[in-house]
Amino acid sequence: MPANDLTERILQKDWSILGPPPPTSLSAGRDAAEQVGSLAKHPDREVRELALNVLGALGGPVAHAVFLAALNDSDEIVRARACNLLHAHRDPADRPVLEKELKENPDEYVREHAALILGEMGDLAAVPALRDRKKIELDEHARWGMTLALARLKDHDAVAAVEQALHQEQASKRAEALEDFRYVGDPRLVRGVVLLLADERDAVNVGGSHAPWYIRVCDVAVNALDAVLNHPFSFKVERGQRYTSQELKDAAEIARSKASIARPAAQPGV
């Protein structure tokens, strides 16, 4: 698609530009990406948001630079979209920039996701910045994001905090903690997750408000274990699946055997 067509459709707020066909079918070079990137400074918030989404489909260094700059956009929706896109388009060289955002950005959502992206990078050099910010962070969600990032980087105290969260009483909270386990991906947490395969309480509505369909804590646990352990189960695993008793039993046996094999070293806690 020619660059002029891209920019004109963005200016017209034509969201159908993202598909179908899928966004990956967009074909444009660096010049087109630069033209679209210039729209990330447009006075209209929706134009800026759509430009970011198009750049997410185009990819490349121009898009990446725009996402980083948009972390300081004047609109919270645009900032949030930039955060989400950076998860998919992160670069190890971003560490100093993200550490700065962690320290200075006034938006708690940006600070939370800067932390999570730093954790995803796997660079232990980010640990001091995460620990320092966590000590003074006032927002609960941002602070927990820093805990999760540290846990992913194998900080002992942070891993222990995630393990404790798995055993909250409320079923929905256990489901949230299982998603955190999926992010952290530490095999040392597997044994605690296996215990939740016995929790058959409804936890998450995956069917929507008009056609509710609940999966249980145990189902969320299977899905998380499957992701962390690199799909070891012989039965079909799907997000909305309610697993049989036999499948839960098989999952527990396989997960225990996998957990006994891999035990990464922890980084000392503060």
Give exposure, 215-248, as e/b (b: 16+ Cβ within 10 Å): bbbbbbbbbbbbebbeeebeeebeeeeebeeebb
Whole-angstrom CA distances from 93 to 98, 99, 185 are 10, 11, 23
When pLDDT is averaged across residues 244-256 and rounded to a whole number, the result is 97
Look at residue 24 and tell me whether its pLDDT is greater than 80: no
Distance CA 164, CA 184 (A): 14
Residue 124, pLDDT > 80, answer yes
% the chain with pLDDT above 70? 91
pLDDT above 60 (res 152): yes
pLDDT digits (tens, 9 = 90+) for 163-189: 999 999 999 999 999 999 999 999 889
pLDDT score of 29? 60
Residues of the chain with CATH 1.25.10.10: 3-158
Can you tell me which residue has the tokens 């806690």? Answer: 269
- Closest alpha carbon to 180 in 206, 150, 156, 216: 150
Average pLDDT over residues 234-240: 94
Per CATH, the homologous superfamily of domain 3-158 is: Leucine-rich Repeat Variant (1.25.10.10)
Q: Which residues contact 86 (CB under 8 A, 6 or more apart)?
A: 64, 67, 68, 71, 94, 113, 117
| Mean pLDDT lowest among 27-31, 112-116, 204-208 | 27-31
Supply the pLDDT for residue 265.
45
Segment 35-83, tens digit of pLDDT = 999 999 999 999 999 999 999 998 899 999 999 999 999 999 999 999 9
Question: What count of other Cβ atoms lies within 10 Å of the Cβ of residue 257?
Answer: 11
Report helix, strand or coil for 75: coil
Contact indicator for 99, 118 with CB cutoff of 8 Å: yes
How far apart are the C-alpha atoms of 125 and 96, rounded to whole Å? Answer: 10
Q: What SS3 class is residue 10?
A: helix
Given CA atoms 242, 244, 245, 251 in this order, what sign does their dihedral have? negative
> Mean pLDDT of all residues in the chain?
92
Compute CA distances 51 → 14, 39, 41, 66, 77, whole Å. Answer: 11, 6, 9, 10, 13
Rounded to two decimals, what is the model's pTM?
A: 0.89
Determine the average pLDDT of the residues in 78-101: 96
For residue 76, what are its two tokens?
Answer: 């919270």
Share of the chain above pLDDT 90, in %: 82
Q: Which two tokens stand for residue 236?
A: 């079909």
